Structure 1
Amino acid sequence: MPLVDVTLTEGRSPEQVRALISAVHDAVVTTAGARPEHVRVIVREVPRTHYASGDVTVAELFSKEQP
């Protein structure tokens, strides 16, 4: 029973998240040969202030990119 856990920063529309779930689900079914009803997809959205790389949060990174 495959389980795919995706973590994203907040800001995508419900339609975008739904499309992501479908694409991930289909990819697992196609590549892993899993039965569709056995595939689990979890999408976690976190605030940009709680997601960092190299000690820089996504919020800080985006604020630096703004003119």
Structure 2
Amino acid sequence: MPTIRVEMFEGRTVEQKRAFAQALTEAAVRTIGASPESVDILFFDIQKQDWATGGRLWSDPAPTKTD
């Protein structure tokens, strides 16, 4: 029974999540032979202020590039 954890920035619609859940379920069925009923998908909506990459919060303004 695969459990797929999806973490992404908040703002996706219920319809987008529904379509993504269907696509992930189909991929699990096709690639690992799971039954659709055994695939669990958990969505975690993350605010940009709660996610950082390279020491910079995603909510911070993008650094300006200097040539």
TM range (shorter): 0.7 to 0.9
TM-score calculated relative to the size of structure 1: 0.83
Displaced runs of 4 or more, over 2 A:
none
Could you tell me the percent identity over the aligned residues? 33
Q: CA RMSD in A?
A: 1.3
In the alignment, which residue of structure 2 is the partner of 1:14?
14
TM-score calculated relative to the size of structure 2: 0.83
Larger Rg: 2
CA distance in 2, matches of 1:16, 1:58: 22
- Structure with bigger helix share is 1
Q: Which runs of no fewer than 5 residues in structure 1 stay unpaired?
A: none
In the alignment, which residue of structure 1 is the partner of 2:25?
25
